[in-house]
Structures are given as C-alpha cells and as structure tokens.
Amino acid sequence: MMRQYELVERVLKYDPKADEALLNRAYVYAMKAHGTQKRASGAPYFSHPLEVAAILTDLKLDDATIATALLHDVIEDTDATRTEIDQLFGSEIGTLVDGLTKIKRLDLVSKKAEQAENFRKLLIAISSDIRVLLVKLADRLHNMRTLEHMKPESRRRNSEETLDIYAPLAGLMGMQALREELEEHAFRWLHPDAYQTVTGKLVELRDRNKGLVEEIRQALARKFSDAGIKAEASGREKKPYAIWSKMEHKQIGLEQLSDLFAFRVIVDTIDDCYRALGIVHTTWGTVPGRFKDYISAPKRNNYQSIHTTVYGPRHQRVELQIRTAAMHRVAEYGIAAHALYKEQRAFQTAVMLNAPKSLAPASAGTAGAHGAVNGAAVTATSTRDADNSPYGRLRVMIGTLLSSENPEEFLEHTKLELFQDQVFCFTPKGRLIALPRGATPLDFAYAVHTTIGNEAVSAYINGRHVPIDTRLRNGDEVTIETSKSHVRPITWEAFAVTGRARAAIRRAAREAEKRRYTELGRQLVMSTVTGSGADYSEEKIRAAAPRFQLKSADDVLCAVGRNDIPLHELMAAVMPSPAAMASGEKYKPSRRFGRAQAQDGWFNIDKVLSLKFRAAEGDTTTAISIRGPNGDLPVLFEPGGAVPGDRIIGVMSPGEGIRIFQIHSPRLNDFEHQGWIDVTWDIDPDNPQRFPARISVTAVNSPGTLAEIAKTIGESGGNIDNVRMVRRAADFTVITIELEVFDLVHLNHIVAGLRAQATVAKVERLFE
C-alpha cells in the first residue's frame, strides 16, 4: 500500500505548487475514517481510495481531485458527514465527494425505466464538475482490476454497467487508455469463453508473426529518418475486446482480420504529420477506403490523428496513426490532458454554457488556490469552443433530458450517442456536421435544426436526389428539401439512427396524433350539437374537464376523438337532459355505450341509427368532413375501401379514430348497436389523394394476362397495392386486386378498361 509521503511526492512531481497540507489531511482523515474496514479481498479498505488517487496522479490531476479520491467513500461507508467534510476540506471538495456519494447509490443495471432514470441522475451529478466523473472512472477502474474477489452476480452487474455506461463515458471524454482497460476487464468477466478464445488466438498469431512488429517499426523509423522527419514509431497488437467487437460487428472470424497490428507515429508538428503520411503512402500500397483525417475534422471528443492502412513488410496489413505529441496526450488522457478541469469557473463556462437552467448546479463552488488558469483562458471560452469539446458533448447530452418524453427514450438516445463512431458531412454552405456512422439525411436534418428535421421531405447527396433513408458517407454534401405542410410518416423513425432524430419524430407523431384526435372530437361534438339545434361552446367543455380528470377543453375533445370518453357522456355532462336537470340528478360517468344510456341523455342512438339512410339520400347537413388517410382527422378504411363518390358511414373505433365503410358494406351490420357517425367527403382539388378500393377480376389463365391487367391499371393512373390470385378452373383465374384511385369516376374508368380486355371475362367491385 502506498505510503503518505509517496502519494504527496507523486503529486508534487508534476504540480510543485500543490497544497501538500491538504493532501496530508485527506490521507490521514480517510485512513482513520475507514479504520479496520476490509475489502472483499481481505485487504484494508483504505487501499482502495489510495489506489484511486494513484490512478489520478498518473493523469496529473490537481490536488483537490486527489483529495476527493481519498475521501470519495467516507460519507457512504463511514460515520463522516457532508458538513464535516465541508468544515475540514472546504465546500469545493465537499461538493465533489457528495456528488460521488450520490452516484454510488445509483443502480444502473436495473430494469429499463429505473436504469434510465438513474442514468439521468448520473449525468446531472457529473455535470456540476467534470472531476466527479474523473474520480468515478478511476474508482470503477480499480474495482474492475479487483473484480475476481466479488461474487459472480456482482461481477456480472459491474461488468455490464462498465460496458454500458462507464467505458463509453471515458470514450466521450477522450480517455482512450482508460476506456480500453475498462472494456478489457468487463469483457473478461462478461464473456469468459470469448475472451479466452481471442487471447489464445492472439498468442498463436504472435508466435507466427514473431518479430514482425519490430521489423515494421524499424522500417518506419528508417524511412522517416531518411526524409529528415523527427518521429517516434511504436507498434502494438489491438486489444482483445476491440478485436471481438469487430468480429461481432462484421460477422467474421479472427483469421479474416488482417489489421491486428496498429502503429503510432508521433511527430513534432502538424506539417510533419502530412509529410509522414506522404512517405508512408509512397513506400507501401494503401488499402482503399481505410484513410481518415481526424486532424482537419476532429472526433467529438477532440481526438485528432491521421489514420491509414497500408500493405507493409511481409505484405501484412498495418494500421498507422500519425499525430503530434500534443494530439497523443489528448488521445491517451482526453479531458485530463487539458488544464480547464483545474478551474471550476472555466468548467462551468465550458460545460454549462447554454445548458437548461434547471440543470445548473446550486452552487458553483470556488476554485482552489493552486492550479487556477488565468483569466484570459476563461474569457476565451466561447459557445463554439464548448460545443466542440468533450464538455460540449456532455452539455448537449444533458440538454436532451428535457426533450425526452420518457426515461427510456433518454436512455436510448444517450447510449446511441455514446457508442456510435462518426461520419462527417457538409451543408451546402460548408458547415461540418458530425453524425454517428450509419446516419441518414433525416439524422442530418435534425442535427442542423429540429425544425428542418420536422419539415424534411426529401434529400440530395452531392447533387443527386436520394431516398431519405440513404446512409451517409464521409465528405457527403447534403441538401434537405422542406415543406411546412408535409406530414411525416411515423415509419420514418426506422430510418433514423441518432437518438435526437428518433425522439423528435416520436414527439412530433404524438403531437400530430393528439391534434388529429382533438379535431375529430371537436367535429363530433360540433356535428352533434348542430344537429340538435344548440350552439357549440368550448367554454362548457372546458368547465366539464375536471369531471373527467382532465385539464383543458382540448384534452376532453382528444379523449372523445379516441373514444376514451363516449360522446353521449360528454353531452350528458355539458347539456344534461331536461329530466335530469329537473330531478337534480348528478352526472355519473359511464364507460358503457348502450341504447338505454344514450336515450337517457339528449344524445339519442335512434337518431344515429338513421344516419345510414340519410347518407344514402345525400343529406350532409351535419356530417363530418373527411379528406382521407392524410387528412386532419384519424381515419381508417375498411379492407373493401371507399372512394370519393361513394356514400359512406363512419364508426368510432377506440384508439384508431373513425373507420370508414362504404354504405353497401355487409360489415356495417356488425356495428348496428354501436355509434355510427355521419361523414362526407371533403376533397381538396389542389392536393389530390388516393383512396383504397378492391376489385375482383376473372381472367383467362394464359401467359401475359397479369401483365396486361397491370398495364391497364397503370396506364389509367391507378396504383396496385396488393394482388392475390386464386385458381378457379383450368382456363380461368380469379384475381383479387387492392388498388388506390382518386375517386369513383377514376375507379369506374379502370374497371371499364379492364372489361375491354379480351383476356378478362368479368370485373366486379368487392366491399368485404
């Protein structure tokens, strides 16, 4: 176990101005507080916070962070209190320790809803000071290093939590070395068989390619030396977890992976990076599609490097990463390679800039006397800098807390954002947009602005019109066409990759659905009130809302549209029958919709039953107007379909809206005792829609018959949605065709065209 003076010396070695007294006090206090407590391994418990502090000294963190590491378990596991920590070590360290205590109490591998809510709390806890996350990552790393002493269930839970949450968070912060070690430990315990297989294969490959890494390193060194470039080249095998992940992702075996060796070339300047790249590419053949320039377009966690893959010595595929020493520090230590973490105010400026006020910490805390950055560094922090830094990524993630309708959506969004690699695309004006790999123009539209995503209609990639679900590639220039009147299908959610796009699509779909049901409820009430000779008043509906445990008139109308509140019950509450008013009878809501109850109120079902005959006569005085599947009302057509020109009847269907029946449909009899709705067509000539219809065609069973039928329908402007063939005899086949037409005239034109065909014996319309 590290001694007190050894820890202090490690900190003073990289920060001579560190508060030595603070470190000594924290060491002694934590050691006494944990006393005789033991870990599962039997070692003194104090050895754990001491090892956590040692990990953070390797990252060269400030004295306050090291003190926090020593104290991070005292509130949770000893008799120490937050007040006592504040008094002895100051409110800054007290806040950090308290944040870590709250994180420790979270269960991040519980059932999905609880896990999502706890994940919210985790991100809010670390949002107040990035050092909370740094200490937590070091704490998790030491726990994973000693996981063999835990019970199997604890190993599984900790490993799942590490792979799902902490390793990706380390990656988000750019701490690649720490992320890789966390992944290795979790991989070992979660997938022991796969771990043993991969590591065993690596041993075999290492023996087979003995000396290859050194041979390649020396070849690189000679080439750079001859060109006068000061460069340090080092090689290594890829980590087992990275290899296994690639095998899982690409569904290939280990033997098929030919780029198992990665080399880093560290040079002095950015100019040297590109000179070194030129030497590599002119010496060895390149592997197509394996070049990435993260210097000109850094990753979201500020990672910068040039990646390329070449066929090196022995014709072995070799991956090269070329970067400067400063870039290498960022690649290895991420956020810990920056000085901003030492100044609380700078962190608040960088992370919480433009963040929702509800998420701002109650108290910012004060910076320690040592390691503070100068005022210029704080002043220079801008919105652009924050958004392009790991702080900015964390801020954006926390900002999604308020835009998610439920915890599961938030969890999906954050996990997608944490795990995905990137693709870089451009707007027509040259703005760079970074997206997860596999993203589509729809994700691009939402990344530019939510309004553009909501109004997206189609996309152009590099000037070529493409489907909205086309996968984007690096360097694509994307143009989004928008329309304010566009009704985006909910199925577009399947095209989206980013959590932001998915959440926005769901939210817009919910809002659109609510508007449609509200409008349906309004139409139903207005139609019924008008038919009774009364005046429509939303004020009365608003006054009745509390009776249904709702807040507004729109909520009530939406519930009526969904059939959650039967129309007659609302009318009984808003306009009770004269008999009920005279008797003083109080309103009693009922979810049953029967003839007797309807007759008790002014909403008389006998009147509704007459709608069929009124529709046949064309009486549309109080009818509800519909415009089809894409109109303002939720409309569902029965399998037989109906088209403008048909006489139609509507039937309320809970959760679906209005089911539309052609007046001759035999299925209407099944709904004789249910509330029918008087509906009529309201066709917009400037926005024609197609409507479903079904026909039966009896045709000669010969080659080319189906093609002739399809050609006739297509030339007439019809759209075939489905075809089903039933062989009736050796010479004839009955074909059921579901098609879409504009109106009854259009349908009759198609039917006449089919009857004129020599191969067609009979055509009739189906209503079932």
Catalytic residues: 76-77
Q: Are 295 and 270 in contact (CB under 8 A)?
A: yes
* DSSP per-residue codes, 674-737: S-EE-EEE---TTS---EEEEEEEEEE-STTHHHHHHHHHHHTT-EEEEEEEEE-SSSEEEEEE
Sheet of 691-700, strands arranged across: 719-727, 732-741, 691-700, 760-766
Q: How many CA atoms lie within 13 A of 396 on its CB side?
A: 20
Q: Which helix (H) or strand (E) holds 422?
A: strand 422-426
Give the contacts of 304 (CB within 8 A, at least 6 positions apart): 294, 295, 298, 323, 327, 330, 331
Q: Are 634 and 628 in contact (CB under 8 A)?
A: no
Residues 194 and 743: their CA atoms lie apart, in Å, by 62
Tokens read off for 510 = 């919910």
Of 635, 685, 630, 633, which is closest to residue 483 (Cα–Cα)?
630
Let me know how long the chain is: 768
Residue 156 burial (C-beta neighbours within 10 Å; 0-12, 13-18, 19+)? middle
Distance of CA 696 to the CA centre of its chain: 45
Of 241, 261, 274, 358, which is closest to residue 309 (Cα–Cα)?
261
Long-range CB pairs of 413-422 (<8 Å, 24+ gap) are 413/498, 413/499, 413/500, 413/502, 413/503, 414/119, 414/123, 414/499, 415/164, 415/168, 415/499, 416/497, 416/498, 416/499, 417/498, 417/499, 418/168, 418/169, 418/171, 418/172, 419/168, 420/497, 422/299, 422/300
- Distance set, CA 52 to CA 92, 342, 503 (Å): 19, 18, 38
Give the relative orientation of helices 63-71 and 130-145 as an angle to the nearest 10 degrees: 50
Residues 522 and 554: their CA atoms lie apart, in Å, by 8
Residue 617 phi, psi dihedral angles, 5° rounding: -85, -5
Tokens read off for 504 = 């926005």
Residues 729 and 540: their CA atoms lie apart, in Å, by 64
For β-strands 317-324 and 422-426, DSSP reports them as unpaired
Task: Give the number of other Cβ atoms within 10 Å of residue 704's Cβ.
Answer: 10
Alpha helices by DSSP H, listed for 78-175, are 82-89, 91-104, 112-127, 130-145, 152-161, 167-172
Residues 280 and 267: their CA atoms lie apart, in Å, by 14
Q: Are 599 and 608 in contact (CB under 8 A)?
A: no
